[in-house]
Amino acid sequence: MLPFQTMGEAEASLGRNLTFSETLWFKYSADKSDYFLYCHNTIFLFVFYTLLPLPCAAAELLRSYKIDRFKIQPKVRNNLCRMFKCYKDVMTVFVCAVGPLQLFSFPVVQVIGIRTGLALPSVSEMFWQILVYVLVEDYTNYWLHRMLHCKWGYDKIHRVHHEYTAPIGFAASYAHWAEVLILGFASFLGPLIVPGHMITLWLWMILRQLEAIETHSGYDFPWSPSKYIPFYGGAEFHDYHHFVGGKSQSNFASVFTYCDSLYGTDKGYRYHKEVFGKLREKSGGKYDISMEDLKAE
């Protein structure tokens, strides 16, 4: 809760007029507790994982050639019942595990110093902090994900996520509850190291959800803005990890490709791209190529 009763008091404390965004923030947050503001992350989690996968889910059901040609594994079809079951299972994990953890983790947020007051962070400050969060999450996620591919980790926990060999957006968080919490730690580690404003934390969590849903969408759209991000893996990169299946020892990173390149865990993927590229050339740009085609080659 802001320590001001009026905008005049806030401006007097800052020694200047409030910016437009600060005025909006004051009007929204002045009478709300810090705990309530932190709980917004839980709301965003449910809302974004409900709405963002819908366009690709609709494309999956309609199977129009104009969109289907961008599907990474075009021979795999997911019906409405399977997608709804996936969504229901994910929401169950959110309700039973993720939501309570976020709500009860508020004391940690207070201790590390994530602030809710004025002034708001600049665009530059938010950019650099989120860049740190992305890099920390990506590197930590790489090793945690790789650990989950050891025999015990896979058999007891990670195999649930690999039930989808051709992932869909709803399957981004389709996993054992323990895996959701383990990999969720990687997302929260950046803000623990470099705490910022609550708005920065909100934006980071939303971006992380967007990225997870995109990489599990099952579609590789050439117009995606993420195509312009250096070293970004994207849907095609992570889809290969599911395509290979439970024994996959490739493409562990969540966002970028540098960890897999650095530690040599992208060799299968690079070979896959090379061979599939040749097959598509021979077929005149045909997209509907299966594992059987690859084996025949």
Within a domain: residue 266?
yes
Three-class SS state of 269: helix
pLDDT of res. 271:
83
Closest CA to 26 of 15, 37, 10: 10
Within a domain: residue 13?
no
Express each pLDDT in 117-163 by its tens digit: 999 999 999 999 999 999 999 999 999 999 999 999 999 999 999 99
Express each pLDDT in 216-231 by its tens digit: 999 999 988 888 999 9
Question: Rounded to whole angstroms, how far apart are CA atoms 253 and 260?
Answer: 7
pLDDT of res. 295:
44
DSSP H or E run through 212: helix 198-215
Query: Phi, psi at residue 218, to the nearest 5°?
Result: 85, 0
- Would you mind telling me the total number of residues written for the chain in this entry? 297
Within a domain: residue 124?
yes
Q: Is the pLDDT of residue 181 over 90?
A: yes
Contact status, residue 48 vs residue 209, Cβ threshold 8 Å = yes
Within a domain: residue 252?
yes
Q: Is the pLDDT of residue 60 over 60?
A: yes
119: cis peptide before it, omega within 30°? yes
Structure-block tokens of residue 157: 């926990």
Q: How many CB atoms lie within 10 A of CB 269?
A: 24
Helical pair 198-215 and 123-147, crossing angle rounded to 10 deg: 50
Within a domain: residue 17?
no
Contact status, residue 227 vs residue 234, Cβ threshold 8 Å = yes
DSSP sequence for 275-294: HHHHHHHHTTS-----HHHH
Domain encompassing residue 265: 33-294
Highest-scoring range by mean pLDDT, 190-194, 285-289, 291-295: 190-194
Question: Rounded to whole angstroms, how far apart are CA atoms 28 and 198?
Answer: 13
Express each pLDDT in 236-270 by its tens digit: 999 999 988 777 788 999 999 999 999 999 988 88
- Specify the pTM: 0.90
Question: Rounded to whole angstroms, how far apart are CA atoms 197 and 209?
Answer: 19
pLDDT of res. 296:
47
Question: 3-state SS of the chain: helix, strand, coil percent to 5?
Answer: 65, 0, 30
Closest CA to 181 of 197, 165, 203, 157: 157
Q: Is the pLDDT of residue 103 over 90?
A: no
CA distances, 78 to each of 81, 137, 175, 215, 283 (Å): 8, 30, 18, 17, 26
Q: Which residues contact 142 (CB under 8 A, 6 or more apart)?
A: 252, 253, 254, 259, 260, 263
pLDDT of res. 91:
96
Query: Phi, psi at residue 222, to the nearest 5°?
Result: -70, -20
Closest CA to 48 of 168, 211, 179: 211
Within a domain: residue 197?
yes
pLDDT of res. 291:
47
Terminus-to-terminus CA distance in the chain, angstroms? 64
Question: Rounded to whole angstroms, how far apart are CA atoms 138 and 121?
Answer: 24
Q: Is the pLDDT of residue 292 over 80?
A: no
Strands (E), the chain: none
Within a domain: residue 118?
yes
Q: What mean pLDDT value characterizes the chain?
A: 89
- How many structural domains are present in the chain? 1
Mean pLDDT of 267-284: 73
